[in-house]
């Protein structure tokens, strides 16, 4: 018996995949239909199909489709002292921050959060000059296609780019993670919490809440009375409040709570930061 065949006589995955493509697709839609048929026939698993579809989708998307808008960027002013900008760094919990001059359109460079670690050993942090640790900022136009940007990220080893509009002003920000999540879905980062936990309290008094948190569990934790008749999860409830699939850092207020999107892709909301609104 051929080594490509399983012991029970079934066709190998390679033979089944080859058979699925006997009729060459003439366009992308036919290709997707063939791939979905292959998944239904168990030639591809559902995760592999989702990645392929995401990769094809990225080729048609532009930076403006997924960028973090200007109004939601967390920036640091070059004139600020560590005592002034560190609370924002800790609150945002990002790994990279644009550093600006007089205005947000004057981006001087990118600060890596890890470059702030030497401050722990400094007795006098006022001597710290942020310009000494800045990395060059990469600028890209809103119209750049995501597949091209991903290739540039890989070749230059940059992880963040400042998005520029047609007039040369800053219109937003994009990271390599933003692009990759369009292909593979959610990427775990420093915000993620254990699989068995839906809700985690932060030292600040805010809460990290998974999008898949059952509404019943959210109600039990916060003594609230959100209905689960229309939606099963807190993420679904939040999406309904937005009226659209929100992007990272979008904020909505929901019956005494301020909810910030920490992680979302083109399919669903994954992680949220929930704050109690003081009466």
Read off the pLDDT of residues 248-278 as tens digits, 9 standing for 90 and up. Answer: 778 999 988 999 988 777 677 888 889 998 6
Compute how many other C-beta atoms are within 10 angstroms of the C-beta atom of residue 84.
11
The sheet with strand 199-201 has its strands ordered as 199-201, 207-210, 269-276, 257-264, 251-254
**The two three-digit tokens of residue 144, written as one number:** 């750049």
206 contacts 273 by C-beta, under 8 angstroms:
yes
208 contacts 262 by C-beta, under 8 angstroms:
yes
Give the range among 15-29, 63-77, 197-211 with minimum mean pLDDT.
Answer: 15-29
Residue 75, SS3 per DSSP: coil
| Whole-prediction pTM | 0.59
DSSP 134: P
Angle at 169 between CA 168 and CA 175, to 5 degrees: 100
Q: What is the pLDDT of residues 127-182, one digit of tens each?
A: 788 888 999 999 999 999 999 999 999 999 999 999 999 888 999 999 998 888 87
Q: What pLDDT, on the 0 to 100 scale, is given for residue 117?
A: 84
Q: What pLDDT, on the 0 to 100 scale, is given for residue 9?
A: 45
State how far the Cα of 14 lies from the Cα of 18, in Å rounded to an integer: 6
With a CB cutoff of 8 Å and minimum separation 6, the contacts of 101 are: 77, 78, 107, 108
How many alpha carbons fall within 13 Å on the CB side of residue 162?
24
| Dihedral over Cα of 248, 250, 255, 257: its sign | positive
Please report, in angstroms and rounded to a whole number, the separation of the first and last CA atoms in the chain.
Answer: 74
């Amino acid at each position: 018996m051929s080594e490509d065949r399983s012991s029970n006589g079934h066709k190998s995955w390679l033979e089944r995949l080859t058979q699925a493509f006997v009729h060459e697709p003439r366009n992308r839609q036919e290709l997707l239909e063939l791939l979905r048929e292959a998944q239904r026939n168990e030639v591809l698993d559902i995760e592999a199909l989702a990645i392929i579809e995401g990769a094809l989708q990225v080729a048609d998307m532009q930076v403006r489709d997924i960028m973090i808008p200007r109004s939601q960027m967390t920036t640091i002013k070059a004139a600020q002292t560590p005592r002034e900008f560190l609370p924002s760094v800790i609150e945002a919990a990002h790994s990279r921050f644009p550093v600006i001059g007089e205005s947000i359109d004057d981006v001087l460079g990118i600060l890596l959060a890890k470059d702030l670690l030497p401050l722990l050993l400094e007795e006098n942090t006022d001597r710290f000059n942020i310009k000494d640790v800045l990395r060059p900022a990469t600028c890209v136009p809103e119209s750049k296609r995501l597949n091209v940007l991903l290739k540039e990220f890989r070749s230059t080893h940059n992880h963040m780019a400042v998005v520029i509009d047609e007039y040369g002003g800053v219109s937003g920000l994009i990271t390599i993670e933003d692009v990759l999540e369009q292909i593979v879905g959610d990427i775990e980062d420093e915000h993620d919490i254990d699989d068995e936990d839906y809700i985690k309290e932060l030292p600040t008094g805010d809460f990290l809440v998974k999008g898949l948190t059952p509404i019943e569990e959210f109600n039990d934790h916060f003594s609230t009375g959100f209905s689960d008749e229309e939606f099963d999860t807190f993420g679904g409830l939040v999406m309904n409040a937005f009226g659209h699939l929100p992007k990272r850092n979008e904020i909505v207020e929901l019956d005494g709570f301020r909810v910030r999107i920490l992680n979302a892709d083109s399919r669903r909301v994954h992680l949220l930061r929930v704050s109690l609104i003081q009466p």
